[in-house]
Chains A and B, each alone.
Chain A
Amino acid sequence: MQQINHTQNIIEFQDVSFSYGEEVVIKDISMAIHKGDYLGVIGPNGGGKSTLLKLMLGLLTPTSGKILLFGTEIEKFKDWPKFGYISQKVTHVDPHFPMTVKEVVMMGRYPKLGLLRFPSNKDRERVHTALKQVEMWDFKDRLIGDLSGGQQQRVFIARALAGDPEIIVLDEPTVGVDVKTQKQFYSLLQKLNKELDLTLVLASHELDIVGHESTEIAYINRTLVYYGFPKAFMQSEYFEKLSGKGVHSDA
């Protein structure tokens, strides 16, 4: 698709549509996400960004069309630990939930471990590395609810990393976080993409930032309005139209 030069298709959408009852949320979307991509999924609120993410994660089933993950049809796909998911909920952690940072990150190992197996030293080591990678090891024994929003985000990234994923999907992870924290968060994502070669899919309404951070852009407003390089997108008529009005008012 377009002139993007990556080789392996990790996620492929073929004419995917999804509706809630009568209401069509996603219509005839075809696109591919390749290994190493840092895809920014942008678009107005209610434009279908979250739905698109949930479709690729198997949380929703398409009304029509086909989704392939690592070349396998999603219904037959079993290798879910390859996916890390950071949902919108991340910024709404129950402050009274009795769970330490270490325990949260260990959860990232659970899908890999499978039923009836308990964490070993190897898992604990992986938790250690993951927390070091996001620079949160010093907070390992703190309760998750006692941390700031930005710190919680890092812990959730660590949780995803602990599962040794190939792709991390993030749904509006910076909602309700201040600008400075947000900056640090995006530089962490850069590190994951560049240094750890992780594929990233990031849904956001922050057009400007995502335009500068990501390597590919998918602009979704029910249909796939634009797919390609951010640079080209920012010079395109869409961007002018959108940033002029602000994406919010489009919803």
Chain B
Amino acid sequence: MLNLFQYGFMIRALEVGLIIGAIAPLIGIFLVLRRYSLIADTLSHVSLAGVAIGLLLGINPLITAIGASVISSVAIEKLRLSKKVYGESALSIFLSGSLALAVVIISLAHGFSVDLFNYLFGSIVTVKQSDVLIILVTGIFVLLAIIALYKELVYITFDEEAAKVGGIPTKTINTIFIILAALTVALAIPIVGILLISALVVVPVVTALQLKTSFLRTIVYAEVISLFSVFTGIIASFYLNLAAGGAIVLTSLMIFGIVLLLNRRGRPAKING
């Protein structure tokens, strides 16, 4: 167990994994409660297009992924609010559109297959030293921003109209939030992988929601579950040579299953009201 930390890549993976594990549920709780968690999926596919562009042009794919994700998040919100299309349709357009773009770029370049696999499913060896800095700095920024806007986000999520009446600038805060979500999704790519990010955003929160407790406690439980899953997933990935993203998400799903089971057993049949 000790020799784990002799490997530079393991230290990098854990550093990056834990910051992602910390911010994912913070974004997730607001997305889940607003019935908007599908945007995480959409933004991850947009990030794939970003990664493809980066690989094609020889730019750090993490940077192009962040750019693509942030720009698209704002565009999705604009399209959604314009009411020209339904909310879910805005998500589908961006999801399939960016996937199409990604596939075209990949086939144009017909190369980078190994790299791409790592970006799709996450890998503890993908994280480069230069990524660590980007992810730590941006991740801490996201963390602080969520804490700073916590009150407002809570109010908007629970009762957007009342928040607006109270003078909370709901539109601005919604835009900032969606950008923070986009950053989180893009940052999670190297370690969790494009196809599995939304699970990390959603599953720990949904698990914590089963415990039926206060908002603050729900967040704390989600954090514990998320950080534990990331840690366990990365360690398992090292010893068993698994894709990190898969190991992380399976761990969190296992906890979800256990909580669901215990909840069923521990509680009498659901009481109405």
Chain A residues within CB distance 8 Å of chain B:
57-59, 78, 80-81, 83, 85-87, 89, 94, 96-100, 102-104, 107, 110-111, 113, 115-116, 118, 141, 143, 146, 148, 159, 163, 169
Contacts and interface: CB of A to CB of B under 8 A. Distances in A.
24 contacts: A59-B164, A59-B165, A80-B166, A80-B167, A83-B166, A87-B159, A87-B161, A89-B159, A89-B161, A96-B209, A97-B33, A97-B158, A98-B208, A99-B158, A99-B215, A100-B214, A100-B215, A107-B151, A107-B155, A111-B166, A111-B168, A115-B149, A115-B152, A148-B273
B218 A83 contact: no
B261 interface: no
A98 B212 contact: yes
Nearest to B157: A97
Contacts of A116: 148
Contacts of A58: 164-165
A75 B132 CA distance: 47
A95 B76 CA distance: 29
B216 interface: yes
A107 B148 contact: no
Chain B CB count within 10 A is highest, among A94, A116, A159, for: A116
Contacts of A87: 159, 161-162
Given A98-B213, A98-B214, A103-B214, A57 B165 contact: yes
Given A107-B155, A115-B152, A98 B167 contact: no
A107 B159 contact: yes
Grouping DSSP codes into helix (H, G, I), strand (E, B) and loop, the B interface class, with mixed when no group exceeds half, is helix
Contacts of A80: 165-167
B225 to A, nearest CB: 14
Given A97-B33, A98-B218, A118-B151, A59 B209 contact: no
Interface string B8-42: 00000000000000000000000001000000000
Nearest to B209: A98
B152 A107 contact: no
Contacts of A163: 166
B165 A103 contact: no
Contacts of A115: 148-149, 152
A178 B15 CA distance: 56
Given A98-B214, A103-B215, A163-B166, A59 B155 contact: no
A168 B212 CA distance: 31
Nearest to B212: A143
Contacts of A59: 161, 164-165
Nearest to B173: A115
Leading 5 A-B pairs by shortest Cβ distance? A111-B166, A80-B167, A85-B165, A98-B218, A100-B214
Contacts of A103: 154, 214-216
B165 A83 contact: yes
Contacts of B216: 103
Tell which of B151, B163, B215 has the most Cβ of chain A within 10 Å: B151
Contacts of A86: 162
Contacts of B159: 87, 89, 107
Contact of A98 (B168, B215, B273): B215
Nearest to A169: B165
A40 to B, nearest CB: 20
A83 B164 CA distance: 11
Contacts of B166: 80-81, 83, 85, 110-111, 163
Contacts of B154: 103, 107, 110
Given A81-B167, A98-B209, A110 B151 contact: yes
Contacts of A85: 161-162, 165-166
Contacts of B148: 115-116
Nearest to A104: B158
Contacts of A148: 273
A165 B83 CA distance: 34
B167 A78 contact: yes
Interface string B230-273: 00000000000000000000000000000000000000000001
Nearest to B218: A98
Contacts of A102: 214
A201 B220 CA distance: 39
Contacts of A110: 151-152, 154-155, 163, 166, 168
B91 to A, nearest CB: 21
B160 to A, nearest CB: 9
A59 B152 CA distance: 17
A217 B58 CA distance: 71
Given A89-B159, A143-B213, 8 more contacts: A85-B161, A98-B33, A103-B154, A103-B214, A107-B159, A110-B152, A110-B154, A111-B155
A159 B155 CA distance: 11
Contacts of B213: 98, 143
